[in-house]
Each structure stands twice: as C-alpha cells, then as structure tokens.
Chains A and B, each alone.
Chain A
Amino acid sequence: MALLSTILILFSSALILHSGFSSHEFHQLLKSLPQDSHSYLGHQLPKDIQYEAIAGIITFTIAVFFSFKKLTYYPLQGPQKLITLNHYLHEIRMNKATNVDNLIGNDPYGEINHTPNFIDIHAKREETKRWLEQNDKKEI
C-alpha cells in the first residue's frame, strides 16, 4: 500500500503541476491577443486542462487514503508480539479509545496511579541485586 500510495501521489502531483503550467501558458497566450477580439471575449480554459486538474486532485485524495496504515502496537509487558488492529484511524469515543490501552496493558493515568514519585529506590535496587545473584547462580 505504501508503494502504491507513493506512486499515486507522484503521479497526481505531476498531473496537478502540469495542469497548472498549461493554464499559465494558456493565459499568457490569451494576453497576446487583442482585448476586443472575438476569441478573447469568448475565452474559457480548455476542457482537457480542467479534466487534468480534477483527475489530479481526485487521484491525490485517493493516494492519501491509501497511505493510511493499519494501527499496530506492541504490548508494554510480556512477550513482544506485534498487535495489528483492523482500524486505520484512532477511535474518538473514550470508552472505545481506551480499548487499545487495555489491549497493550497501558494505564493512561499511570503517572498518578503508579505513584512514581514515592518509589522506594533502595527496595528496587535490592530486588535487582537479588535477581542478578539468582541468575549468576543459575549460570554457574
């Protein structure tokens, strides 16, 4: 999808730029005509330039939609298996949006609920030291 959308974006950009350049050329040409001439008064941008610009815009819009990827997440804890949701955009309603947090094990209010500023650093370090000692014993 990423390759297709890139190709489409490049193609549509070329179409839009080309139609813009053609329009500029057409108006430059028109300026060279006498202002009271019949062809100046009845002038209109040629249909092919109009169609080219419209086709460019439509293709660009489609390409942008193609560039969306399915939402992917890694769980915060446990085995690191990529979770791919069948969605391209995030949910707006809160009760649905928080489903992703539940899926990956995230607490959006963790900065409060985990009380990070009251952590006993020595206890954490002791736990690590014990774990490292146990690991060393296993290796021996």
Chain B
Amino acid sequence: MDAIRGRYISICTSKVYTQFSPEELMELNDGCKRYMQLKDPSLGQAQYFSLMEMLFYLAVYLCKDVEAQVLYNTFRDRLGEDSPRLYGMKSTLLQINESDSAAVEFIEKLIKERLEVDTDSISYLLLQKRLIAIQSKNHDKEWVVRQLLNLIEKFPIDPEIWWFAAQNYFELGQFERAVYCLEEVIQLTPFNYVASARLAEVLYYKSMRVDKSVAKTKATLQNALNNALRSVELSENYLKGWSLVALTSSKLDGKNKILQLAKSKLQIIANGSNAQNKVTAELILKSI
C-alpha cells in the first residue's frame, strides 16, 4: 500500500500527469479512483485533497466534463470558492463548458475587482498564468514572451514563469535569452538538477547553431559541460545529466577521462535502472 500511495502522491506533487499520454491518463484516472475507494488510513487530509484535485484535472483532460463538475462542486461545498486552486478550477470549467472568452472574462473581472488591490499574491499569480495560457492560443510566441516578461516584472522570484519563458525563447531559437532564464531558475532553485541539465542542453544547442568562432564554441561547450556536471553532482544516476556530460566532453579536447567516466556511469544506468532509462542509456552509448 505504501508503494501505491507513494506513486500517486509523486505523480500528484510533481504534476507529471500534465505530460502523460491519453492512455496513461486513463490508467492513472482508474487506478487513483480504485485506490481512493480503499480509504487508506495513512493518507493525510492534505494529500487526499491533492489527489482529488488531480482527479479533477484528469477528468478535464479525459473529456469527462460531468465528473469534473461534480468534483469542483464537492470542493466548493467543502472549502468555499475563495481559494487560488478553486479559481483555477473554475476558470478551467468555464473554458470547457462555455468558452475561452468566458474564462478570460471571469479571470479579468476577478483581477480587476479584487486581486489587483488584495494582498493575495498567490491567486493573482496563478490566474495571470492561466490567463496567458488561455490567450496564447490566439497569439504568437513573441506575444507570449512579452506577457511573461510583464509578469516577471511583478513576480521575479517565480521559477515557473522563468522556465516557461526559457521554453518559449528556446522554441524561437533565442538561445542566449533561454540560457539567461534557466540561470534564473537555478538561482531560485539551486538544487534543481533537471534545470542544470536543461541549461547544459540549451548551451549545447547554442554552441552547435549560433556560435561562429571556434573559441566561442569551445567556451560555450565548456559551460555546458560544467552545468551537466553540476546536475550529476546533485543526482548521481541522472541519465540526461550523464548523457550531456558524455556528449559535450566528446566534443572538447582533453576531456577523455570525463568521457570515460560518463560512459561507465551510462553503463551502470543501462544495467540497473528502469526499462525506459535502460533503453535510452544503451542508445546513447551506441551513438557516442
């Protein structure tokens, strides 16, 4: 039971379900419902509500609109409507039951009438993010970046906005700016080894596509290697980190020892990790 509970809590807290395929979402939705029917006594109340919130978003993603509405009503009846999470859920329901413009209207009205003058920065920030997410469909990436930068002016210590800005800059091919945003993420969450590896990845792409001179390419690759090494320093068996260490060190002169170390670590991951990591590590070992 501990392992099952741990799985659902990890999925819920890491929000990895937002990246799941429909098939995985379906499996998660059914499994989580079955688990919650068991009424596990070790499940805390906060964890219970978090799982319920996850079930709401799963119902939304899986087009189970009635189920989502029922879950929202349960939350509203127990906790009231004035909460950042409930605002987010309501705007989502408006999006799917009515239209995007109804959700935008709801958020803008709430911000204008209450949140702009309130001290509730959590609701304000969350709804501003939702607003950008809803409106981004009708605008280009430059518009999204402009909105994100405006939000960063108000909330410079929110790493999620920096990460999303980095993602948008990366898709626009503006690697230098993406690097800057990721460096901000690392400053805000210094132990975020995933961000270090992502930074190394962006620097690697920058060295391959943007940097013209050999000296500049080498300097960028060295910077990428340093960041990849930082990620594996924080997480010993991090596959992406070691892959980037191997990749960048193979492109630099005099880094044979690091390359050999990376290969041996990748071999360890290929021998003893989960099925997905094993296959990926083997592929990387073959390609280097």
Contacts and interface: CB of A to CB of B under 8 A. Distances in A.
Interface string B135-152: 011000000000000000
Contacts of A102: 235, 237-239, 269, 273, 277
Looking at chain B's contact residues, the main secondary structure is: helix
Nearest to A94: B234
Given A115-B164, A121-B95, A131-B23, A109 B61 contact: no
Given A76-B7, A121-B60, A129-B63, A98 B137 contact: no
B15 interface: yes
Interface stretch (A14-22, A59-67, A78-86): A78-86
B2 interface: yes
A120 B13 contact: no
A124 B6 CA distance: 25
A94 to B, nearest CB: 6
A19 to B, nearest CB: 33
Contacts of B233: 95
A109 B3 contact: no
Interface string B12-55: 01111011111111000000000000000000000000000000
B194 A109 contact: yes
A39 interface: no
A119 B18 contact: yes
A75 B132 contact: no
A112 B189 contact: yes
A117 to B, nearest CB: 4
A77 B88 CA distance: 26
A50 interface: no
B35 to A, nearest CB: 11
Contacts of A113: 163, 192, 194-195, 198
Given A121-B60, A128-B63, A77 B164 contact: no
Interface in A75-115: 75-79, 82-83, 94-96, 98-99, 101-115
* Residue with the highest number of chain B CB atoms closer than 10 Å, among A72, A77, A106: A77
B10 A112 contact: no
B133 A117 contact: yes
A132 interface: yes
A112 B16 CA distance: 10
Contacts of B6: 73-74
Contacts of A78: 274-276
A127 interface: yes
A126 to B, nearest CB: 10
* Residue with the highest number of chain A CB atoms closer than 10 Å, among B10, B95, B126: B10
A116 interface: yes
A137 interface: no
Contacts of A72: 2-3
A125 interface: yes
Contact of A96 (B61, B96, B133, B236): B236
Interface of A: 69, 72-79, 82-83, 94-96, 98-99, 101-122, 124-125, 127-132
Given A110-B13, A114-B15, 20 more contacts: A74-B6, A76-B7, A77-B16, A82-B3, A95-B233, A98-B193, A98-B236, A103-B273, A106-B14, A109-B14, A109-B192, A111-B13, A115-B167, A117-B129, A117-B133, A117-B160, A118-B129, A119-B133, A128-B63, A131-B22
Interface of B: 2-4, 6-7, 10-11, 13-16, 18-25, 60-63, 88, 92, 95-96, 100, 126, 129-130, 132-133, 136-137, 159-160, 163-164, 167, 185, 189, 191-195, 198, 233-239, 269, 273-277
7 contacts: A69-B2, A104-B274, A110-B15, A117-B133, A119-B133, A128-B22, A128-B62
* Interface pairs A-B: 3 shortest CB-CB: A110-B14, A131-B22, A98-B235
